[in-house]
Structure 1
Amino acid sequence: VLASFGAGVLIAKRESIPLAERRKLYGKIVMGGTIGTIAVHSLIVMATLPTRVLDPMTQLWFGERFAEFALPFLPVGVLVPLIALAFVGPIEKRLMGPSDEERAAQSPELKPMREVDAQTKNPYRWYLIGMMLSGVILYGAMTFVEKDFPHKSLIGNVGAVLFLVGELANIFTSKSPKFQVQASTLSALESSLRDRVATLSNRMGMEPVPSRVLTESIYGKFGAVLDRRGVGVGVHALEQLTPAEVDYLIAHELAHKKLGHLKKRLFWTLAPTALAIVPILSFVFGRSSAGFSPMLAFSPLLMVLLLMVPQHFFVRHMMRQQEFEADRLAVETTGDRAAALSSLRKITLNDASPGIHDTDMLSHPAVAARLEAMRG
Structure 2
Amino acid sequence: AEPGKTVQVEQTRIQHLEGHQQQLNDRVSRYQQELQGMGTQALEEEIGSIRNQLSEVDNEVAELGQQLQATQQQISQSREHNENIVEALNGSRSDLQSQQGRLSSLEALQEDALGKGESAVSDWLDQNGLKDAKRLAETLDVEQRWQTAVETVLGFHLQAVSVDEAGNLGQALAGLDKGAIGIIERGAVKNSSTRDLATSLAQFVRSDWSLDSLLAGIYTADSIDQALSLRGQLQAHESIVTAEGVWLGPNWMRMTRNTDEQAGVLQREAEIRDTEKRIAELTARVDDLQQQLDAGRDALHAHERSRDETQASLDAANRQHAEYKSTLGSRETALEQMRSRSQQIETQLGELHGQLEQDSSAVQEARARLQEAEAAAAKLDAERAQLQQRRDI
TM-score (norm 2): 0.17
- Between structure 1 and structure 2, the one with the greater Rg is 2
TM-score (norm 1): 0.17
Name whichever structure is richer in helix by fraction.
2
